[in-house]
Each structure stands twice: as structure tokens, then as C-alpha cells.
Structure 1
Amino acid sequence: MSKLSWSNQTIKRQLLKKRILFKQRAILCLILAVIGLAISWLIFVKVEPVVFLLGELQPIETVERIELPQDSVIEEIYVQPGEQVQQGQELLSFDVANSFPKLKKLDDLEKSLKKENKFLQDVSNSWINNDQIEGDFDDINLSPQKIILVKNIISLLKENQTIQKKIFEDKAKLLLKIRQGEDHESDIADEIKSQQKAIIYQQKYLISIEEKLSELQTRIKVIISENENFINQIEKKKEKYQKFKKNIFLNSPISGQVKEINIQNKRLEILPDKKLIAYLFIAYQDQKLIHKNMKLKVMVNNSEQNNNFLLTGQIILIGSDILPPNDAYPFYHLPVQISLETEEMTTKEQEIFLKPGIPVKVELPSPQKKSLLEVLYRNVLW
């Protein structure tokens, strides 16, 4: 009886072990199946990842330089370096009465240079002769070096014409003698050869004259080009004088702080009221998603008002230096600067002005879909 009872218990234990083993295998298979489905889902399911550019608002400093006419006479200065000025505020005044004679001198100098250029152009193009040259020298008031240059050109042109005329006449005489030589060949053969040699010599001399003439004409063109550059400079100066003729006061083009007043160099510098830009960072591998002048929506996190605002901005600079990972940006990244269309926001309650240090963010949808596993590895595990 005892043996039978022990046998039954043994059988029960074996059956119980089989049931437990079956359940364990079933649970293990279920876990493996779930893991396999999860991995497959991570691999095959595609999503559109969003790339974030994170940063903050920072001030940018630029200098507004106002160039004054070099020969202008300043009568009085109304501001001092470090003083705050508003747009349109009077900065200084000019002594216009003393500026008018200088404007007239510029006019006279410009007319003289234009007249000189026309005269030199006529000489270079052989449109003038010795009979005109003496009177033109008095009217144009050329320098001694230029007078010598022009006289040399006129002399070479005259000699060139004389030799060309002589060659033409000698060729005509030679042709006539050749025709006469058909009947008396032995009598004038030597004379024909002599004249041919004379014509060849004259032609070679003519070539040397033309080379010298070409060299002098090139020097004339250089002088004309230098005069034209000088005329352009004069016209720029005249524009500044004409501008200040209408208004004897110089008004500030922007609001800001006077940085420097340099009377000696005729320059005035104003530091504009600080402007803000969004200074952000983008991961190096995402730089292809952006380009210069690209317009974006910038999210501004206004913690004081506990709300966010979207502003339109435009990329003005993409850094070229790759920055190493750090605590704030644990990846290789590039700096990006974005200008904002406005620096103030209006709500129902009040008008909010932006300040440096406010966090900003830009969201960029990636054009290529990626698997969940790739996104998880890049944003969490990497």
C-alpha cells in the first residue's frame, strides 16, 4: 500500500514538472515574440523626425559710419561721444558759405579734365594738326610733360604722312620706269633696282615710326584713363557737397549712441541701439537642411508671461567651424544666426519687448523618413 502511494506521488510530481516546463517555454516564446515584433516595428515603421535648433536671443553690435566731405567746413557740433541720439536729431552744422567756393573749384577742375581728355583723344586719333596745337595748349593748360608727349605724337604723325606720300610717289615713278624699261631694259635696269631699294628702306622706316607712334598713343590712353578716374572721384565729392548745400545740418540716420567724432578724418560713428538675433546651434549632420537667407519660424519662450510666440526670421550666417560636444549640446554642432523681422510682440494684455537671453527654438522637419530605431539611437542612446 505504501509502495502504491509513493508511486502515485512520483507520477504527480512528474506531471507537475511537465506543466511548469510547458508554461515556462510558453512564456519565453511569448516574450521572444513580443521582442521580435517590437524590433520589427522599430526597424520597419518610418517616421518624419523633427530636427531642433536650440539657442537664445543675443545682441548684435554694428557701427553706422557717416563719411563727411573731406573739404567741408564744420561750423558747430551739437553732440558728444557717448551721448544718446534719436533718428533725425541734428548732430552738427556746416559752414555752407565757405563750402560753395570749393564746389566751384571742383566744377572747374572737372571741366578742365574733360577738356584735356577730349584734346588728348583727338591727338591720339590724328584729328588735330600743328596749326591748332599752340592755341589748344594755352586753353587746356597742359603740364610740360604732356606738352612734350603731344608734340612728339604730332611730329610723328606729320612725318608718317610725309613718308607715306613719298612712298606713293616713288611707287608711281617706279611703275612708270618699269613700263618704259620694256623698250630700253638695259638702260634703266640699275635705276629701277635702286628705287626699289629706296622704297623698301622707306617702308621699314615707316614701320619704326608707327611703332613709336603706337607707344606714345598708349601713354596717351593711360593719361586719359587716370583723368577719368579722377573725374569720378570729383563727382562723388560734388554729390556730398550738393547734399549738404540743401541742408546745412547733418541729421542722425538712426537712433543710438555716438561712438566717435573724428574731425580730422571727417568721420562720425554711431552705435545703434542693440539689435537682437537668434543665436542657435544645429547638429553637424543636419546642416544640409538649412541654407543662407532661408526663412524660418522661430519659437520664443517667454517665461515671464508663461507663453510662447512664433516670429519670422531669416538665416544670415551659418558657421563654418565645427564645435565639439559639450554639456548643453552633446553632439558636434555649428552656430547659426537668424535675424528677426520684429523685436516686439503684442498680446491682448500688453506689448512685450524681447530681451537678450530669452530661449528660442526652431523646428525643422526632415525631408527623409527614418526608422524609429534610428531616431531612438540618435536622440536617446547616442
Structure 2
Amino acid sequence: MNFSNDQPPNANNRQKKRLLVVDEQTKGSQAQKNQPWSKIEKAVETVDENKRSVTEKKHNSARHARELRTVLWMLVGVTTLSVVWALSTQIEIQSERTIAMTGQLMTRSNVKEMQIPENKVVKAVFVKEGESVNKGQSLVEFDAVVSYEKLQFLENQRQSLVTQNQFYRFSLEKIVSMTRVEEAILQLKLSREAAFLVRNRAALLAANQQLQARLLENSTAGSGEDGKTATLGKTNSQDNSQEALASIAIAQLQEKLAQYQTQLEESEDRLTVAQKKLNKIEPLVKVGAVARSQYSEQQQIVRSQKVELKRLRAERERLQLTLDRATEQIVETPVVVRNESPKPTVDFQKQIADNKKQITEIDTQLTKIIVENDRQIAELDRQIARLQGNSNSFILKAPVAGTVSQVMASPGFGLGSDRTKTLLKLNSDDRHLIVDVLIPQEDLGSIQEGMKADLKIDALSLARLGNLHGTIISVGSDALPPDAIHHYYGIPAKISLDKQSLVIDDKEVPLRSGMSVTATVTVSQKQSFWQAMWQKLLGADELISD
């Protein structure tokens, strides 16, 4: 084995130590050489750190500023929203303030006003002014407006026919003067045919009376002075007969003239309607909305109506002229007859017979009218009975006992403007107490009808009485000046009591009129939050100023 290169372990350790020392020396020398550069690097690092810290501070400051602005805008927004909400939102605030009013107990009679129901009309009234009635007693009977109006129409029509028949029968049995005939025509509103018949009948009867008188005078006529007197009587009798016949002719002319006048008015109405229709169509024809043939047809209708109207006017003028001449002849005939010599004797018997024949024909026609009216009356009676059987009538009864006053109701009440009026008033026998108070003028806006009020009888202890309540039932509109009881301007009001008596020492004691009362009302109102705060501030300022 060759051990020349082998060294002992200690030698190796020594060699390693030498190598380490050499390395350290080498590093030390190198460190000495590199020491200036290290200082430079440290300085650069220090500068970089300072820059980084400055940058970080700037970033932090900007972030803090942004956060601060955000917080400020949030505060501004919340404040703005709060102010808007406070100005717009209504908050109901229960006021602790009470309004005190003074007054006294007064007796009040309950007056009930009876009004007419909807779509009803008074059929009958069972009470009169000042009558005392009991509760449940019948006051007024109503019927439906439509049923009542139809019933009244039928009854009026029936009564008109009955009255006309009475006049016709009276005319057939007795002699009626022309004056009474004309009055009946106007009052009974007779038809033209019936008016013509009764006029002619009265005129013919008058003429026959005159003719019979002349016959009697002729039979008793003598000679000499008596003969002259008889001749004069004949002349006068003849004049009267001619006047009667002329009156008949005039009546006939008047009847025809009235007929033509009616036809003329109807023709004028038809012409007006046709002309309006033509004027309405004319602009439509120009734009093509209506056929020209229809326009031509309407023009032809208008022309025909004008021709008819012209014819009726001419006929009316002719009849009027004839009537005027006949009237003049009646006036002039007596004068002419007196100046003329006596005319030959006329066949009075024949004239009387002819007149009687005409009277018989007139009586036949009047009898037909009477029969037709009787038939219509029977039919109306059936309709009235059927309508009364199906009537929707009901009876208004007194709700309380009392006295009737201011009765305005009567059969037919409730038609037209009567619907807004009171039928009658019922003063109740049950009288009760109310409180008349005076509201201070400055508190008028806070008091309304229907509000509850706490009441205190000034002469009695509240502890013994307990609570007494009421309700405001009316508030006046005009202020009253101060008086001996109320020393301020105020508005009158009335308060109804919840009870009409009090319990004192387990005994019921009725309240009496004239007792002095103090009423208090608690007022609640809605106001905005801003208004509430403003009032609080004003109150604080007043406190400070005081």
C-alpha cells in the first residue's frame, strides 16, 4: 500500500483553517474596496423610502379628502330630504288646548218638517192647521206622480164631457140666449162643430119667436089707428126676423173664417218647417252629401206650401169681406126698412116650418154628440177605476205626537216647483233641553258641527254629577256683540245633551231651563312638521319676551 500522499487528520484541519483565514482576508479586502458603493446604495435606498412615504402620504390625504367630501354630500342630501319631508308631510297633532264656551240650558221644541217623497204627489190631506195629532195618525196620502197626473187628466177629461153634455141637454130642453151660448162656448171649450150647432139652434129659435109674434100681430090687426099700429108692429117684427136670420148667416161665416184661420196657421207652420229643411239641405248639396234630386223635391214642397198659403189667405180675406158686409147690413137694415113702404106679406108659416126642420136636424146632431160623450165617459170611468185599483199610494203618518202647523199640502202638491217646499210642520209635544253657547270669535275656525263637548253645570259640583257630554248640532254665521252675560264677541252655537237628567245622591234630578253651563271642546288639527316647529319657536320667543 502506498501511504506517501496520506496526511493525518490534524493536518487536514489545519489546512482548512488556513483556507478560511485566507478567504476572510480576501473578503475583508474586497469589503474595504466596496465600502463607498455601499454607502451610496444606502443613500439611494433612503431617498426611495422617503419618496415612497411622501407618495403614500399624498394618497392618504386624497383618500381622506374624498371620504370627507362624500360624508359632507351625504349630510347635505340627508338634510335636504329632511327639510322637504318636514315641509310636505302632514302630522296629526292632538292639541292640548281646550276651547271654553259659556251658555245656558234652553227648552227646545222638536219641529219636524215633512217633505214630499221622491216621485210622489199629494193625493189627499187628512189634517188641518193647528190640529193636534197622535203618534201614528195619518197625515197625508201620496201617489206616484205618473199615476196621479194620468188620473187627474182622465178625471178632468171626464168632468169636461159631463159639463158639455149638461149644456147640450139644457139647450135641447130650453131656449138659450146667444149671450149665454157664447159664454158656454168659451168656458166649456166646445168643438167647432158643437159651437156651430148651438149657435145656429139659438138663432133659429129666436127667429121663430119673431115670426110667431108677427103671425099673432097679423091675426089681431084692425083698421084705422089700430091698423097703423099693427102695420108698424109688422114692420118691427119683420126687422127682428131679418136680424135673426142675418145673425145665423154671420155665425156661419164666422165659423168658416175660424176654420180658414186655423188652416192658415197650420199651413204657415208647415211652410216654416219645409223652408228650414231646405236651408239645411242646400249646403249639403253643394258638397255632394245630399242628392240633387232630394233638394229639388224639397224645393217643390216649399213652392206647393207657398201656393197653398196664398190660396188660404185669399179665401180668408174674401170671407172677412163678406162678414163685414153682412155686419153692415144688419146695422143699416132697420134704417132702410123704416124709410121704405111696407113690403108684401111673407109666408111666415113656411119660414117657421123651415126653421123647425133645421132645428130638428141640429137636435139630431147634438144628440149624437151627447151619445158619443156618454160612451167616452163610460170608457173614462173604466180607466179611472182600473188606475185607482193599481195605485201606488201610501200614507204618511205622524212620527211623534204634536201639533200641525204651516200646512202647505193640498191635492196635487208636489208637481213642478212645489217639490222644493215643505208639506207641513209638526211641533212635537216632547220638549227637550239644549245648550245655547257663544263661541269666541277667534276660535270659530276650530269649532264644527258634530264635535263632542264636555259640559259642566256651574251651579252644581262636577264631582257629584259625574261627566255630562253633548254634541254641537249647529254653528251660527253672524257674530253677536258683548252683553251682560258674555263680555266678548262670539258666534252662537247649540249643543244637544246626551241625557236630560242627572243622578245626584242616587236620585234622578231633571235639568232645568236657565241653568248656566260651561262647555269645553278639545280640538285636534293636522299641520306640517315645519309649522309645528315654527309655532314652537314662536312660543319660545314669546316666553323669552315675557
TM interval, shorter chain, is: 0.3 to 0.5
TM-score by length of 2: 0.30
Which structure would you say has the larger Rg? 2
TM-score by length of 1: 0.41
More helix by share: 2
